Amino acid sequence: MRDLLTDSDIVVDELYSATVGGLSSEAMATGNVVLVRYMADYCKVPEGCPAINVNKFTLKDNLRQIILDVDRRKELANLGRPYVENANDHLKICRDLLSWVEQKDTIDYDFYPTFSKDFQIPEQILKDEERETGKKRVDFFKTLLSTGATKKKQSY
């Protein structure tokens, strides 16, 4: 993956997501301009993110603009690595996590998962699901082997 990213200049990532993901970060770190959909306020994307925020309606125009504007493309490419290093600094992330743990009773969360407390999946449904998954896996391997797409390992 690193070779692909190193050889590219522009990466389009996650048009139907809400945040800058791993591929976007890797692409910025390797000097690519990234076009990605993200909701900075909702997902708390760190300030100064050089990724171009696009959606399926704005992608074409933004992509055309960044291809034609070489100076802007170089500017965003140069901002990528320092941004990723700062936003993904392991010490900063650990400090944030420890801070959240220490404040656990004072932080007002907007999501409280309760499904596992309020509901129980009947045991028979779990067993049926496990059995069906196993059947699908066996069918997959049978299909794979029947196509000739796999080769037998040579023994030495």
List per-residue pLDDT tens for the chain, 156 residues long: 888 998 999 999 999 888 888 999 999 999 999 999 988 777 888 889 999 999 999 999 999 999 999 999 999 999 999 999 998 888 888 888 888 778 766 767 666 667 667 777 788 887 888 888 777 777 777 777 777 666 665 665
Residues 6 and 77 in one domain: yes
The domain in which residue 61 lies consists of 2-89
Whether residue 31 contacts residue 77, with contact meaning beta carbons closer than 8 Å, is answered with: yes
Count of structural domains within the chain: 2
This prediction's pTM: 0.62
Q: Is 96 domain-assigned?
A: no
Say what the pLDDT of residue 151 is.
Answer: 62
Kindly provide the b/e burial profile for residues 25-40, where b requires at least 16 CB atoms within 10 angstroms of the residue's own CB. Answer: bbbbbbbbbbbbbbee
Q: Scanning the structure block, which residue is given the tokens 């591929």?
A: 23
Alpha helices by DSSP H, listed for the chain, are 2-7, 22-29, 40-43, 59-68, 70-87, 90-102, 115-118, 123-147
